[in-house]
Amino acid sequence: MWEELGKAFCLMLVLEGILPFLYPQRWRNMVVTLATVSERQLRMVGLFSMLLGAGLLYLIK
């Protein structure tokens, strides 16, 4: 289990690094925009992301 978790974490890092590598200026603008988003909106996006990820894992498994 720990090996799979480590692989998943490494894959997440690779995927998260694609945008800053390919489009650094757009990524920077997105981060600045995110700084102005309310905490409630960020929490809702986080919740949606977690539910989507859990749902996709359920469908794959």
- Give the whole-angstrom CA distance, residue 2 versus residue 15: 20
Give the residue numbers spanning the domain of 43: 24-61
For the chain, give the mean pLDDT.
93
With respect to residue 18, please indicate whether it lies within any of the assigned structural domains: no
Residue 6 has pLDDT above 90, yes or no: yes
Q: Say what the pLDDT of residue 1 is.
A: 86
Q: pTM of this prediction?
A: 0.67
Residue 61 has pLDDT above 90, yes or no: no
| Rounded percentage of the chain residues whose pLDDT exceeds 90 | 87
With respect to residue 5, please indicate whether it lies within any of the assigned structural domains: no
Q: Say what the pLDDT of residue 47 is.
A: 96
How many structural domains is the chain composed of? Answer: 1
Q: Say what the pLDDT of residue 40 is.
A: 96
